[in-house]
Structure 1
């Protein structure tokens, strides 16, 4: 009987160690995409420099971390995006005659695209964001004319937000992450020669891409039912020994 009790005591110690959860570092991911669509703008017909702007937005979201999976230890949000900018300018001599008319028309302008991506919810005390601009120029001469130029580029790629700060990680537990992508199109007529010529600059931009969030967390293993049964047997062994 004494041997059995000693055996039960040893088994109990071993099972106490076995039933203690073991942490495993794991990663959970979620992804989404966005597209602002094309944002158009144009200046007024003018003989002097002028400018005009227009905005477009796209909203998307990612899943927060499921706290039932374990303990969140890190968050990283990455992005890869592309942008499109197009500009054209129409330059016209308004004179309507066959003689003594201005026949040399010259004008120039450019279009700028400003692109932004930010995490606005959850409220982290600030909104991580990034932006970049690009311009294209064009000009023409002689009579009514127009020219168009386009550019495509992989503009914004990198890490939008990353942290292991426990006070910030709490904001990502069981919450939806909300993002806003925006594009601003600005068309500018830089010059128009001479003073009787009229110029008008047209512009359009588009902004699209992907977002990925990676959650690093520690998973605590759950003891198997058979292991729990042996643990109970060990406790019974302790009880019998005390009665003996």
Structure 2
């Protein structure tokens, strides 16, 4: 993917693995209505943090780190579980999720959550923020850091995302990557599939099984010179 820091490292002999994530998520209660929003992202988040992102607890302030923006911030339990598993904050923070004095709110707060790049939860904001982040890095001459943003398919009902798609494609923001978790939540949908919307705006785009870790990795790491890249991860429908 990028160059510079290399892949994130962790002590795999002691850090939790993917199969322990449901247990970590089970420590967080009180927002069960957003459980599907969280579980739909779990596999894709894990593959990103485990195999793709150049981001770790040691690089949270490194200007050459990759940036990951969670736009789908109204269901952050999977995100918190992955960050805890990767050592960004202690696992014993998880049972306090949503409590008055807990840093782990029902929407993530970048000031309180180590590793969080934005405060999020209001749908439609993350992709425009990612475009701005990629533009800022380009203006600074930083060509190494990749910018990733995770959105839900329903966020494509928001006009702000289509403006961001058009601008990013026209300006060739090749360090920008958008991961769309498609659990059939969108009101409108898109004729020809979501990936076709990205391609029409000049992006590289592909659609994969959002539970297949190898397929996700290959889609995440596919070359896309001169163009931003979109990955649509299909998972089971929200109400299935």
For Structure 1 versus Structure 2, the TM-score category normalised by the shorter chain is under 0.3
TM-score (norm 1): 0.19
Larger radius of gyration: 1
TM-score (norm 2): 0.19
Q: Normalized per residue, which structure has more helix?
A: 2
| Structure with more contact order per residue of length (Cα contacts < 8 Å, sep ≥ 6) | 1
